[in-house]
């Protein structure tokens, strides 16, 4: 080994120290770069020369530059951020939904219900006061408007989430496509032994984290070498990202998700995966976690064409409860208002039945009876006929019971009974729903007729002499004739001045336990106000639960972020110490070279 070998040893130390300085400088420069993992120079002694009296060292070499990355810590970090994204999406949307049910400053449906019943209470004391009728009409219009607007607010959020789902899937595809491009670059670099695409891997991890925030993913990165730290060795090829059981990223191959409605009749988009055989699979109901999972949980994972509703949807549950409340409210109020005497009775088209349908099977009807009451021109009840609804009763049977020759008065007079004064007919238009009418045989006789229900809800179901129109929160509204002429609002069943029997029944409705249909098919027995507050409390409880989940996820994320920072983050104090260490090594190596240079000059001087 000669003097020039010593020069080579000094040079190896110089270049190694220079690599250390460059790497440390790179770390310091990226101290604030999100997702950056600090890098370290792995150096080893050069292979020695086998000489007498033994092996002689030949210096140092840089074996590789590695990033300080623990895949297990990163996995927890990614999972915590995914949970936080999921919880934040739920919380923000549920808070918005909860605000729709908030009753503040005398506004809101709960306050509207109180105003509705209070207005009828005032009418029970002043039944002929047109000003009180105007107040009641205004209260009913406000109530119906607020119910409609609350439902519109719910559907607006649901529709917006459908658009956000489209944006979310587009972002997932963009991220996955970018990851595939990075895999190609990583593969190209790391096919050379001991070469690591550290910065590219950091960038891929950032994209992978963003992807995990969007939806639950499973990632396979090849083998793991554990040498005091965890390192991935996939080299860009043995790398897969699985979403909902399908590989969206397969090494350097990208399989995009598609989003489109199932058909022209479906308003909400579904997410599809197309495999290598061009087989399309709907994976909407399998997407969980992250922002997209939260969107689907709120919006729903499908759409039922038969019911016209989103399936497995938290928002749809709220809509269904509000619809149930509005439906029962309309039915019960109309059933009471049907007891107001009219010159004739005319039902709405009775959707969903035929003339031979068993009425006991109709959802809004109960078995039992109702009375048809006749009043003379003085408002005095002159007769009534009980109409029964049994297990097999049909609309044709109702007509027959009305038209049957019965001595309603028990006076053996065949000219003054219901069937002598009124005639029931059932009309069925082509391709339409049947309707029932009970009309006077002599319009000049001065008789009026009304329905006095005994629990069947026939008046509310049939829509005879309605006060409210509509069947749900979507279309509830005060009947236009009354809205345009508040003085026409009836407070007495028989239109007797000073009588408030109808108004008192309306007041008593607030205390009646009604049967509300829940989204799961169960029934709830509550008053109208109780059921509304139950629905509002359900939304508020879900929002509060989402806030608690978000807070817990936030704490966990901060904890794991600290662990991630301790493992991969740049510590300025440590880097400055490393910089001084490499600077000292560089100076020492330079001293070796200057020493060898002096030796060479001495040697050349001897020759001269």
Residue 374 in any domain: the answer is: yes
Last residue of a domain, one of 433, 464, 495: 464
Alpha-carbon dihedral 459, 462, 466, 467, rounded to 10 degrees: 70
Tally of CA atoms within 13 A in the half-sphere of 410 that contains its CB: 2
**pLDDT for 237:** 62
Cis peptide before 53 (omega within 30 of 0): yes
Give backbone dihedrals phi and psi of 17, rounded to 5 degrees, phi first: -65, -35
Q: Is pLDDT at 50 greater than 80 in this prediction?
A: no
Domain that holds residue 442: 341-464
The band of 228, judged by pLDDT with boundaries at 50, 70 and 90, is very low
**Measuring CA to CA, which residue among 505, 579, 586, 561 is closest to residue 124?**
505
Percent of the chain with pLDDT over 70: 97
**pLDDT for 107:** 82
**pLDDT for 386:** 95
**Measuring CA to CA, which residue among 223, 208, 262 is closest to residue 79?**
208
pLDDT digits (tens, 9 = 90+) for 342-373: 999 999 999 989 999 999 999 899 999 999 99
Q: Is pLDDT at 576 greater than 70 in this prediction?
A: yes
Question: How deeply is 454 buried, as exposed, middle or buried, from its count of CB atoms within 10 A (0-12, 13-18, 19+)?
Answer: middle
H or E segment to which residue 321 belongs: helix 314-337
Residue 576 in any domain: the answer is: yes
Residue 25 in any domain: the answer is: yes
The 10 Å Cβ neighbour count of residue 83 is: 22
**pLDDT for 393:** 96
pLDDT digits (tens, 9 = 90+) for 445-500: 889 999 999 999 999 999 999 999 999 999 999 999 999 999 999 999 999 999 99
Q: What is the pTM of this model?
A: 0.88
Residue 187 in any domain: the answer is: no
Last residue of a domain, one of 444, 464, 484: 464
Residue 507 in any domain: the answer is: no
Residue 60 in any domain: the answer is: yes
**pLDDT for 608:** 59
**pLDDT for 381:** 92
Which range scores top for mean pLDDT: 45-54, 538-547, 595-604? Answer: 538-547
The band of 1, judged by pLDDT with boundaries at 50, 70 and 90, is low
Q: Do residue 573 and residue 460 come from a single domain?
A: no
Q: Average pLDDT for residues 543-561, to the nearest whole number? A: 95
Mean pLDDT of the chain: 91
Residue 73 in any domain: the answer is: no
Last residue of a domain, one of 445, 464, 483: 464
Tally of CA atoms within 13 A in the half-sphere of 74 that contains its CB: 25
- As for how many domains the chain has, the answer is 2
The band of 52, judged by pLDDT with boundaries at 50, 70 and 90, is confident
Please list, in sequence order, all residues whose beta carbon lies within 8 angstroms of the beta carbon of residue 33, skipping any fewer than 6 positions away.
none
**pLDDT for 6:** 82
The band of 230, judged by pLDDT with boundaries at 50, 70 and 90, is very low
pLDDT digits (tens, 9 = 90+) for 295-332: 999 999 999 888 889 999 999 999 999 999 999 999 99
Q: Is pLDDT at 224 greater than 90 in this prediction?
A: no
**pLDDT for 598:** 86
The band of 275, judged by pLDDT with boundaries at 50, 70 and 90, is confident
pLDDT digits (tens, 9 = 90+) for 94-129: 999 999 998 877 789 999 999 999 999 999 999 999
Residue 214 in any domain: the answer is: no
pLDDT digits (tens, 9 = 90+) for 515-548: 998 888 888 899 999 999 999 999 999 999 999 9
Say if CB 59 and CB 12 are below 8 A apart.
Answer: yes
């Amino acid at each position: 080994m000669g003097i020039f070998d010593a020069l080579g040893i000094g040079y190896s130390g110089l270049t190694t120290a220079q690599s250390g300085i460059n790497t440390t400088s790179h770390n310091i420069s990226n101290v604030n770069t999100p997702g950056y993992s600090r890098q370290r120079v792995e150096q080893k002694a050069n292979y020695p020369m086998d000489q007498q009296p033994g092996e002689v060292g030949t210096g140092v070499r840089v074996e590789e530059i590695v990033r300080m990355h623990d895949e297990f810590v990163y996995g927890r970090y990614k999972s915590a951020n995914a949970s936080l994204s999921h919880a934040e999406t739920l919380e923000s949307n549920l808070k918005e939904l909860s605000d729709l049910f908030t009753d503040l400053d005398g506004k809101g449906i709960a306050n509207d219900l109180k105003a509705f019943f209070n207005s009828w209470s005032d009418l029970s004391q002043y039944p002929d006061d047109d000003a009180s009728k105007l107040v009641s009409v205004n209260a009913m219009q406000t109530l119906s408007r607020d119910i409609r607007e609350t439902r519109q607010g719910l559907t607006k959020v649901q529709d917006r989430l459908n658009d956000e789902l489209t944006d979310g899937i587009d972002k997932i595809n963009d991220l996955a496509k970018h990851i595939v491009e990075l895999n190609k670059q990583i593969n190209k670099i790391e096919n050379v032994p001991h070469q690591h695409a550290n910065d590219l891997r950091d960038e891929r991890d950032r994209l992978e984290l963003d992807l995990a925030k969007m939806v639950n993913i499973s990632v396979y990165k090849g083998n793991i070498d554990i040498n005091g730290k965890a390192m991935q060795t996939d080299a860009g090829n043995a790398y897969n990202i699985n979403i909902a059981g399908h590989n969206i990223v397969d090494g350097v191959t990208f399989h995009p998700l598609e989003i489109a409605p199932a058909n022209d009749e479906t308003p909400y988009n579904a997410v599809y995966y197309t495999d290598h055989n061009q087989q399309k699979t709907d994976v909407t109901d399998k997407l969980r976690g992250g922002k997209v999972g939260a969107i689907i949980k709120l919006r729903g994972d499908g759409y039922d064409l038969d019911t016209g509703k989103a399936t497995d949807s938290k928002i749809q549950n709220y809509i269904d409860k509000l619809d149930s409340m509005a439906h029962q409210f309309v039915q019960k109020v109309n059933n009471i208002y049907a007891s107001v005497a009219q010159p004739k009775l005319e039902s709405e088209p009775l959707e969903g039945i035929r003339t031979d349908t068993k009425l006991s099977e109709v959802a809004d009807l109960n078995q039992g009876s109702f009375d048809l009451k006749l009043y003379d021109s003085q408002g005095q009840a002159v007769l009534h006929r009980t109409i029964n609804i049994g297990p097999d009763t049909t609309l044709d049977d109702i007509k027959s019971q009305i038209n049957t020759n019965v001595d309603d008065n028990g006076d053996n007079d065949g000219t003054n009974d219901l069937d002598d004064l009124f005639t029931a007919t059932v009309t069925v238009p082509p391709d339409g729903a049947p309707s029932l009418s009970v009309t006077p045989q002599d319009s000049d006789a001065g008789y009026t007729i009304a329905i006095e229900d005994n629990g069947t809800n026939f008046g509310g179901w049939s829509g005879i002499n309605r006060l409210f129109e509509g069947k749900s929160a979507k279309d509830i509204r005060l009947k236009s004739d009354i809205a345009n002429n508040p003085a026409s609002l009836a407070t007495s069943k028989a239109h007797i001045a000073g009588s408030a029997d109808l108004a008192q029944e309306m007041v008593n409705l607030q205390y009646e336990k009604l049967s509300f249909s829940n989204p799961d098919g169960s029934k709830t027995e509550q008053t109208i106000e109780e059921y509304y507050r139950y629905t509002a409390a359900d939304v508020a409880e879900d929002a509060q639960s989402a806030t608690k989940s978000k807070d817990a996820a936030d704490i966990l994320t901060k904890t794991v972020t600290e662990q991630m920072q301790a493992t991969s983050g740049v510590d300025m104090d440590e880097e400055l110490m490393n910089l001084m260490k490499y600077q000292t090594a560089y100076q020492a190596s330079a001293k070796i070279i200057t020493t060898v240079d002096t030796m060479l000059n001495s040697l050349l001087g001897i020759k001269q």
